Amino acid sequence: MIKEILLLWRPYLEIAILWYAIYNLLVFFERTRARNVLRGLIILVVMFFIFQKLGFHTLDWIMTKIFAISIIGIFIIFQPELRQGLARLGARQVFLTSPLLKAEELEILIRQLEKAAVNFSEKKIGALIALERDDSLKVYIDSGVQMDSMVSEEILEAIFFPSSPLHDGGVVIVGGRIAAACCLFPLIDDNARLSRTHGTRHRAALGLSEDTDAVVIIVSEETGNISLATEGHIISDISREELSRTLRNLLRQET
C-alpha cells in the first residue's frame, strides 16, 4: 500500500524537488557577479534548441562543440560562486543548535549593538561584529578566542579597544551572546567592489557575508562610519536609526 502511494506521488515529489533546487540555484546566482554569465548560457541553450528544430546543421554542430568545451569553462568561471555555494551548504545547520531569541531579547541585543556601534563611531574605534543566523559560524568561532559572554556596550568596547589583545579580528555573536572574539573571517578577493574608504574589516565582512548568511556590523577606524554587510552586499555609512531598523528586519526571523 505504501509502495503504491509512493509510486503515485513520486512524479510530483520529483517535480517539487527539481523546482526547489532550480529556484534556489537561480536565486543564489542572482546575488552574485555570475548572474550575467548565467543569463548568457541560458540564451545559448535556447539558441541551440532553436537551431536543432530549424535543421541548421552547421550551427548545430558548432554549438555542440562549444558546449563540449564549455564544461571546463563553466567550472573556471563559476569557481568563486561554487566555493561560496559549497561553503553555505556545509555551514547550513540541519538541526537548530542555538536558542531562538524572544522579541524582548532581540530588542535588548539590538540596543546594545546600536549603542556600541555609535560609541565606536564617535571614538573612531574599529570594530567587526558578526551575528549568526541560519548558517553555522563555528569554523570562524574556532579560529578565535572562545568566550561565552553577554552582549553589552562595555564588553564590546573592552574587546575592540586598540590596546586590547583581542581587538584584531572579529566578534561572533550566537544566540544573543558573544561566542568568540579575535576571529578570522575570509577576505573578499575582488577589491573593485569596495570603495577606497573601505579597508580590511570591510573586505572581511563582505567575504563572510558571501560565504554565510551572517549579518556583519563594521565600524571604520579611519572615518568612524558604520556599515552593515549581508548577502554579499555592504550598506555604507548608515545612521543609528538605520542600523537598528535593518538589524531588526534581518534578525526578526530569529524571534
Instruction: Express each pLDDT in 82-106 by its tens digit.
Output: 665 666 555 555 444 455 678 888 9
Report the pLDDT value the prediction gives residue 90, as an integer from 0 to 100.
58
Report the pLDDT value the prediction gives residue 97, as an integer from 0 to 100.
46
pLDDT at 210 over 70: yes
Instruction: Sketch the domain layout of the chain as residue ranges.
Output: 2-91, 103-254
Report the chain's C-alpha Rg in angstroms: 23
pLDDT at 255 over 50: no
190: Cβ contacts below 8 Å, ≥ 6 apart: 33
To 5 degrees, how large is the angle CA 247–CA 34–CA 134?
35
Calculate helix-pair angle for 35-54, 2-30, nearest 10 degrees.
Answer: 120
Report the pLDDT value the prediction gives residue 38, as an integer from 0 to 100.
66
- Note the pLDDT tens digit of each residue in 108-150: 999 999 999 999 999 999 999 999 988 888 889 999 999 989 9
Strand segments (E) across the chain:
127-131, 145-150, 170-174, 177-183, 215-219, 226-230, 233-235
Report the pLDDT value the prediction gives residue 233, as an integer from 0 to 100.
87
Q: Which residue has the cell 586598540?
A: 162
Quote the mean pLDDT of the chain.
80
Report the pLDDT value the prediction gives residue 175, as an integer from 0 to 100.
86
Report the pLDDT value the prediction gives residue 94, as an integer from 0 to 100.
45
Report the pLDDT value the prediction gives residue 56, as an integer from 0 to 100.
80
- Fold of the CATH domain 103-254: YojJ-like (1 (3.40.1700)
Contact in structure between 177 and 148 (CB atoms under 8 Å) = yes
